[in-house]
Each structure stands twice: as C-alpha cells, then as structure tokens.
Structure 1
Amino acid sequence: MGYDCFVCLFSSVEARDAVLCGGPWFIGGNIVGLDRWTPSFSPASMEGLSSPVWIRMPNLPLQYWDDCNIYRIASRIGVPLWIDAQTGNSGRREYARVCVRMNLANKLQSGVWVNGMNDRFYQKVEHEGIGLMCYGCGKVGHQKEFCPSRLGGQGDAVNRRNVDKRKQGGQVESNSESCG
C-alpha cells in the first residue's frame, strides 16, 4: 500500500471488529493506527486515521473522580472507550487514566478547560505511548525535523527518503530551520 501501511484481511467480521475496537496496538514501541479502509485513504497523510490512546489526567480534583466526569473530560480529547481498572476502583489518585479514540491528524492537546461545579479549571493531559510525534506542530506521525509545516508540505516525502536512506546506511537530508 505504500510507506508504513499494511492491509489486513480477516477471516470473520468478529475478528476484524475485535482488532479495530481493541488496542491500543504497538509495534516496535510505536503506536499503530488501525481503521477501516476508505477510498479517500492516502498513505502520505494521517487524515482519517484514528487510534485508541491512553491518556492521563494528573491531579484531577477529587469531586470529578467518577466515571461520568472522567468520560466528560476525556471526550474533549477524543471518544472515550474505557477507564482503566485502577482508576475505576479508585486504586490510584495520582492521575485518572482513560483510553480515548483520537484522530491522529489533530494536534495533541496538553490539557483542556473544564466547566466545574463552581469554576472553570484547566486539566492537564498526558498521552501515553506515542513514539513518533512532532514537538513543533504537536501532531503524530513525523518528527520535528521532518515537519510538513516547516518543509512546505514536503515533510512526508523527505521523511520517507530519509527512512529509506537510514535502512541503506546512507546520509539523510537536513534542514537548519526550526519548526513552529
């Protein structure tokens, strides 16, 4: 299919759904986005790709430590899928942990504003297990040195060439400009 893309065929709808709804999935320490194929899919873009991602909400105020509020806050990041067992049974108070399905083309949020019982407050959010992320534009799927916003939209093509050259032991392209 192209650069870092694979087609998976399943023997049953149940097996396919178990893989698509399961996860998050990791290969070689990198999160893998799994979605049903659509005719508009492009392997050069993260558009349309989503993936389950575990997020942490550190220092969540105690009065919001219930399933309803945790899901409400997590829904500002993505579609909440499930709360981990330690969070659900109040086994941990350092952070609430919830898995959300995130659109991988969107910028990762470092936190969200929450309308609380008495006031608004800012809830910090930490994303777990996202290996390939740009700290310039905040998106998943490339590193800062290959950021499409910095390279005039050519980041994916440069990234593919550099990965191929690294595999062959060659020199990679470089650009001294900074991203963002």
Structure 2
Amino acid sequence: MEASSSEIQNNGVQYADGNPIPVTTQKEELAKTQASWATLVAGNKYASKGMTLTFIAPVIENGEKIVELQRAEVAKGTEKWNKAVILYVVGEDPSIGAIERFIASEWNFVSKPTIYYHNEGYFVIKLNTLEERNEVLYSGPYTLRRKPVIIKAWTPEFNFHEEVLKTIPVWVKLPNIPLNCWENETLSRIGSSLGIPIYADDCTSKVDHISYARILVEMDITQPLLDKVKLKDPERKLFEQIIAYEWKPMYCGVCLMLGHDCNKGQQQNAPRTQPQMIQQSPVKEIQKPPQQQRKKNAPRKEWKSLEQGVAEASSNQGPTAAANKGYEQGEDPLG
C-alpha cells in the first residue's frame, strides 16, 4: 500500500512529495506567543513587580478542561492564611480605619495585623501567630458601634454566605449547672446539643466562679435556638438545663440575611384596630358679658390739657368746693 504524497512520520516531520517539511508543534507555537508577550512587557516597571506565570496545560476529561490543583501548592497557600480570622460586623459596613481602631482598642494583646476587605462586606485579619489567632477567637464577644462582631477562623473551605451568614459562633451560658457537670467531656456533650462546641472560657476551665459555665458554640442560626436542653444523669433521671445567650442572633428567612427579621417587622407594622371614637356635642363658644362687650366697644377717651381740666373743675364745683371758696374770701362757711 502506497503512502500518500503528504504524511506525518513519528519524528514529527511532515513529508510532501518525498521532501521533509518541519511541523510547528503546539508547544513551540505557545513558546513563541509567550516570548512575544514577554518582549511586550519587558522593561515595564509594573510588570517586574508582579509574579511571572507559565502555561500549565489542563487535563481533558470527557471533552472538558479540568484544572488539577496540586497538594503541595495548595498546602503552601494554606500555610500563609491559617493564622487569619474572618471579621464581620452585623448591620454595619465599617471602614478599614474603623477596624484598625477597633483592633488597637480590643486586641491590644496582638502585634499589628494585616487587614483585608472583601467586597461582600467582611474583613480578613491576618495575624502573626496561631497563638494570637486563638486568643482573638476565644475572647469576646465584641461589639462595634453597638453592633455585634462575628469572628471566625479562616479555613480553605470558607464560604461567606454559608458560614458567616448562617453558621456563627455564639457565647452561651449554662446557669446553675451542677458542679459535677463542669468536666470537659460533659460540657462538650451539652454544647453538641446546640451545635459544634469550640471552647470553654478561662473562668469556666479553672472554675473561678460557680454560678454558670460559659462555652463558645458554632450554631446554625437558620434554625430555632434552644432555650433549654434535657439532660439525663447516670441514674436515668431527667432534668432541664437553661440556655442563656449573651447575644441572640436574628436571622431573616425572607432576605436570607443576618441582623434582622422581616416577619417580625411586618407583625409590628401590621395595622391595628382603631378604637371607635365617641361622638361629642360641639362646644359652644362662650359669649362675653355685655358689660365687657360695652367696654370693648366704648369710645376711647380723649386727652385734655391742664387748662381745660381746671376750667371744667371750676364750673362743676360742688358744696365742698363752694365752702372752700367762701373760706378763702373770709366768709364763715357754717353761717
């Protein structure tokens, strides 16, 4: 069987009419493209500050490109961020400057961290050591401008909408819990009935006070939060343990957001039944007495000069005035 006038041999060389023609491979074409772009940005001061990237071919599975991440590379990136925490302020959108002031005031036990803002409304705080991160996580609760502050450890699987807006750490008090229930395992069992127990505070761990135990539990706030749980002691006796929240988060099932509840707002704004008004007879206007009316309508008196007043007084003299006049002329007024 004769070969066609044009065929490709295994060595990557194409033959046409017996004459070899070099074939440009995909890698060579890609190398030329990279070289041309590299020449384009060569000497650019901004390009020199960034990272140089290289082409790594994706894997083709069922006709679809799939990028395979390498364990060592991902572990290297995780190492950079495992000291970070996620910070979110409920109902507030503070600036980086406000977060810096908050950290300087509330986290004065840590070295200055690096703050990153995500446009979904939360911050990533990159601390310097794991010890600082743990101390931040186990302190609190915190508020900023009277708004609750949610703090969570960063994880590679972190998803803001699934974790911060639905599953958050909440400090819980267990008032009057029996003293023989303060062990690590027992508190973990009680916390597991609420969510995922994380931590018992220092006073609880050292039993510095016995009025209540205080534990940090990661809870799904999309579900109703329990106010009490039932415990069964080794003697099979049941009793209830009250659950008290230092801050009880509010979740809106309509907006799927943390910090408010539209259903409660609608109940508060619902129209109320107005009480029926009692009809009253119209109030009559009180008429002023006639005397006051006459005084109001009386003509105003005119001012008179001193001479006019003296002349009127002399023409209207009474008996007393006449007697005084006669006395002045030497006559006896009594006769």
CA distance 1:30–1:11, change in 2 (3 Å): closer
Report Cα offsets for 1:18-76 as digits up to 9, x if no partner: 49x826553333334456336xx38xxx9962221110001111221211111111111
Corresponding residue for residue 147 of structure 1: 263
Which residue of 190, 194, 202 corresponds with 1:85?
202
Structure 2: any 5+ residue segments left out of the alignment?
1-90, 93-119, 153-157, 252-257, 273-335
Structure number with the bigger relative contact order (C-alpha 8 A, sep ≥ 6) is 1
After superposition, the Cα gap between the structure-2 partners of 1:147 and 1:28, relative to the gap in structure 1 and judged at 3 Å, is farther
CA deviation map 1:95-140 (0-9, x unaligned): 111111111212111011112222121100001133x548xxxxx6
Report SS of the residue matched to 2:188: helix
Q: In the alignment, does 2:244 pair up with 1:126?
A: yes
Q: Distance in 1 between matches of 2:208 and 2:185?
A: 17
RMSD: 3.6
Distance (Å, rounded) in 1 between the aligned partners of 2:242 and 2:205 = 19
Runs of 5+ consecutive residues of structure 1 not aligned to the other structure: 135-139, 156-172
Give the TM-score taking structure 1 as reference length: 0.60
8 Å contact 2:232–2:238 — kept in the other structure? yes
CA contact (8 A) 1:33 1:50 kept: no
Higher helix fraction (1 or 2): 2
Distance 1:28 1:123 in 2: 33
Structure 1 residue 60 and structure 2 residue 168: aligned? no
Aligned equivalent of 2:148, options 24, 31, 39: 31
Counterpart for residue 212 of structure 2:
95
- TM-score, structure 2 length as denominator? 0.35
Distance 1:176 1:115 in 2: 47
Paired letter, 2:159: W
- Tell me the distance in 1 between the aligned counterparts of 2:173 and 2:212: 6
Partner AA of 2:147 in structure 1: N
Instruction: Report sequence identity in percent.
Output: 23
